[in-house]
Structure 1
Amino acid sequence: MARFHPLQVAAVDRLTDDSVALTLTVPAELRAEYRHAPGQHLALRRRVDGTEVRRTYSICSPAPDGEGPSSLRVGVRLVEGGAFSTYALKEINIGDELEVMTPAGRFTLEPAPGLYAAIVGGSGITPVLSIVSTLLAREPEARFCLIRGDRTAASTMFLEEVADLKDRYPERLQLVTVLSREEQQAGLPSGRLDQRRLTELLPALLPPERVAGWFLCGPYGLVQGAEGALRELGVDRARIHQEIFHVDSGPTAAGVTPGAAHSTVTARLDGRGGTWPVQEGESLLETVLRNRPDAPYACKGGVCGTCRAFLVSGEVRMDRNFALEEEETDAGYVLACQSHPLTEQVELDFDR
């Protein structure tokens, strides 16, 4: 079960004008709890004017071997008006303590031989940096093609870290960078990585059908365009993994399906269960949180997947889903933060 612990800030590294990397010290007694797979994320929380604010940030450091990490590093990009990102860039100092949830997320890769690839935009490099560095260090028979899009060189997060990886693994890491607002002296012409351009570009870089796993991460438009290009090129859906950042707008469920007039939700969480009435307009997560404040969540926007639960019985309507893959929804998983009851009784299991 995900839990919060206070972790001390060991370093604050400025990456660009609008992003930083935070290094957090993990005490020896907590290292087992903070073991993570490459690509997972952390939820950080603080209180602002009496209200709890949680935000999710991907781990960029390699996944640990053995008992667990002595430190964790996350990348934070400033979001206009962002309650946590503004705090991170302007106020957090070395020695401060942050409330940090144990790792979560399924945008991961277990190191194995083969060819892998990623298409990322902006801060979408963060989890992929952990995936690439872990894979190439642990698996000598693995290769990786990293295609990244950014506005300008100055706005590119983890520029030096990626360059170091390319120097360390020149034969096994293929790096392709495209800038949308700046011409490069060498490489591809400037412009956005949209579906049309990726459909033309990818076959020239590598055989898409031979890639064991594609990892798409970044803004909603880029991820959707990249998935469309891959499907157009015949890549099987099961080989495409995606994580979306910065969803400003996107498809939602048509809000014409009425919910049940009087519903209850039964939830199992950390081995204990309870049943509570759902108030009008509430999501199932909001109902559970009124009675079990320890229920897991981070973004409440259908993006991070922290509140994933198994639908044991009943029917729900999910307003948005940017976190669960088709295989997960087919297996019966839902996002509690986006789910509203369609039947009088709904049962969720957060422990599965």
Structure 2
Amino acid sequence: MAVAFHPLTVSDVRRETPEAVSIAFAVPPALADDYRYVPGQHLTLRLVRGGEEIRRSYSICSGLDESELRIAVKAVEGGRFSPMAGEIRVGDTLDVMTPQGRFGVALDPAAGRTYLAIAAGSGITPVMSIARTVLAREPNSRFVLVYGNRNSQSIIFKRALEDLKDRHLARFVVHHVLSQEPQEVPLLTGRIDGEKLAQILRTLGPLEAIDHVFLCGPGGLIEEARATVVRLGVPAERLHVEYFSVEGLPVAARPRPRAVATDEAPVATAAITLHGAHHEVPVRAGETIVDAGLRAGLEMPYSCRGGMCCTCRARLVEGKVEMDLNYSLEPWETEAGYVLTCQAHPTTDRVALDFDQV
């Protein structure tokens, strides 16, 4: 299904913590199929401020059986979109992209799986959607959550997590790890690091029996958790990763801006297939494919522009490109020719990319 924006009306706004709100949208019956989602996916919101278009992606937190489409937004210091979330009111209309993302798995009602999720802060949002749906639709499966926050007041969905545990006592386990609030169990006090995580995970039994692991939050947490989980015996192919920021990553792994040429001379041509139409777009030195497409007036699919959300994913069918960063494509995707066009720079005179083969 083609990526597209539609105006949706806000049906509910709920304060989750002093810094976070959840927002539900009313989806018209005519758009029900367009906004049918898989737990773990996200929505991209679009607004214009001072003549500039701003896009941000926010994960869906509702479960499939809850009959609503809800996201959560946590205010980010210095952010351009998230601080305004507290001003959104019921009845407001926002431009919302159709659901995107692959941070999830196909469910099987007959399966008896063990799921592990490690999240911090707003990284709980897609995990909440996955956990709600797994516990409702896989009655023989078990879900374990290790969730890091500063203190108990900053726990997003605190009451909802307690309700889930009350309903699924034998199948849902939550370990709250608080970095700035002492707890009765010393192990659960402090920042989630490799050593602390290993101690918690060893209480779960044989880790090779875990079927799926979801890692979501800042980059530093994800990399430390990934290394720890694999070291303790979980096969790497069972891990599912969603970066919410590059916080905690080495400086060398962060974006390095390229100078964009201001003259009109292109260094390459990008043949872009988008929504069934074909476009020939000149690319200037330093430009990404997304940059070039936007300059040419195309409605390019993108959101984070940091290599994390995968909204800009396309298949490279001709030529070669070089990506600055890749936090979201799996190895099999890059081998199959998929690239992040917000990070991709042509290295041949001509490249061809198909956004419809996603």
Q: Check whether the contact 1:6–1:97 (CA below 8 A) recurs between aligned residues.
A: yes
Distance 1:271 1:206 in 2: 50
Confirm or deny that 1:146 pairs with 2:133. no
Deviation, structure 1 residue 29: 1.1
Alignment correspondent of 1:309: 314
Please report how far the alpha carbon of residue 292 of structure 1 lies from its aligned counterpart in structure 2 after TM superposition: 4.7
1:147-174 Cα shifts (integer Å, max 9, x gaps): 1111100011010111111111111111
Residues 187 and 196 of structure 2 are in contact (CA less than 8 Å); yes or no, is this contact kept in structure 1?
A: no
- Indicate whether 1:87 and 2:84 are aligned: yes
Question: Paired residue for 1:43?
Answer: 44
Q: Distance in 1 between matches of 2:186 and 2:129?
A: 25
SS for the counterpart of 1:245 is: strand
Unaligned runs of 5+ in 1: none
Bigger Cα displacement from structure 2, 210-219 vs 293-302: 293-302
What secondary structure does 1:304 align onto?
coil
**Residue identity in the other structure for 1:172:** R
- Give 1:122's aligned residue: 121
Q: In the alignment, which residue of structure 1 is the partner of 2:161?
A: 162
Q: 2:352 aligns with which of 343, 347, 352?
A: 347
Distance 1:219 1:241, change over 3 A: same
Q: Distance in 2 between matches of 1:254 and 1:53?
A: 21
Residue 317 of structure 1 and its aligned partner are, at CA, apart by 1.0
Letter of the structure 2 residue corresponding to residue 97 of structure 1? T
The residue type paired with residue 333 of structure 2 is: E
Which residue, 263, 271, 276 being the options, matches 1:271?
Answer: 276
Asked whether 1:298 is paired with 2:303, we answer yes
Mapped contact 2:310–2:329 kept (Cα < 8 A): yes
Indicate the residue corresponding to 2:262 in structure 1: none
Name the structure 2 match of 1:181. 180
For 1:11-50, what aligned pairs fall within 5 Å after superposition? 11-50=12-51
Check conservation: 1:118, 1:215, Cα contact below 8 A: yes
User: What is the CA–CA distance in structure 2 between the aligned matches of 1:220 and 1:128, rounded to whole Å?
Assistant: 16
Offset of 1:285 from its aligned partner?
A: 1.1
The one-letter amino acid of 1:151's match is R
Alpha-carbon contact 2:4-2:97 (below 8 Å) kept: yes
- 1:99 paired to 2:98: no
Counterpart Cα distance in 1 of 2:186 and 2:254: 38
Distance 1:176 1:189 in 2: 7
Question: Could you tell me how far apart the structure 1 residues matched to 2:285 and 2:213 are?
Answer: 41
The residue that corresponds to 2:11 in the other structure is: 10
Q: How high is the TM-score relative to the length of structure 1? A: 0.93
- C-alpha displacement at 1:316, in angstroms? 1.0
Distance 2:188 2:62 in 1: 31
Shift in alpha-carbon separation, 1:135–1:292, aligned structure 2, 3 A? farther
Cα distance in structure 2, aligned partners of 1:204 and 1:331: 39
Q: CA deviation at 1:106?
A: 0.5
Deviation at 1:291, TM superposition (A): 2.7
Q: 1:149, 1:192 within 8 Å by CA — same for their partners in 2? A: yes
Give the aligned length: 345
Q: CA deviation at 1:253?
A: 7.8
Q: CA deviation at 1:243?
A: 0.2
SS in 2 for 1:12: strand
Cα contact 2:269–2:282 (8 A) shared by 1: yes
Match of 2:263 in 1: none
Q: Which residue of 1 aligns with 2:68?
A: 71
Counterpart Cα distance in 1 of 2:316 and 2:241: 23
Pairwise CA distance, 1:40: 0.3
List 4+ stretches of structure 1 deviating above 4 A.
252-256
Aligned-CA RMSD value: 2.0
What does the per-residue CA deviation read over 1:68-109, in whole Å, with 9 as the maximum and x for residues that have no partner?
x853110000011211111112x2111111110000000012
Q: Is the Cα–Cα contact under 8 Å of residues 311 and 334 in structure 1 kept in the other structure?
A: yes
Selected match of 1:262 from 256, 261, 267:
267
Cα distance in 2 for residues equivalent to 1:315 and 1:189? 48
What is the TM-score of this pair, normalised by structure 2? 0.92
The answer (yes or no) to whether the contact 1:309–1:333 under 8 Å persists in 2 is: yes
For residues 302 and 183 of structure 1, what CA distance do their matches in structure 2 show? 36
> Does the 8 A contact of 2:10 with 2:93 survive in 1?
yes
Q: Kindly provide the amino acid, as one letter, of the partner of residue 222 in structure 1.
A: L
User: What amino acid does structure 1 have at the position aligned with 2:79?
Assistant: G
CA contact (8 A) 2:13 2:22 kept: yes
> Kindly tell me: are residues 284 and 20 of structure 1, through their superposed partners in 2, closer, same or farther at Cα, counting changes over 3 Å?
same
Check the 8 A contact 2:175/2:188 in 1, yes or no: no
Deviation, 1:51, is 0.3
Matches within 5 A, 1:224-235: 224-235=223-234
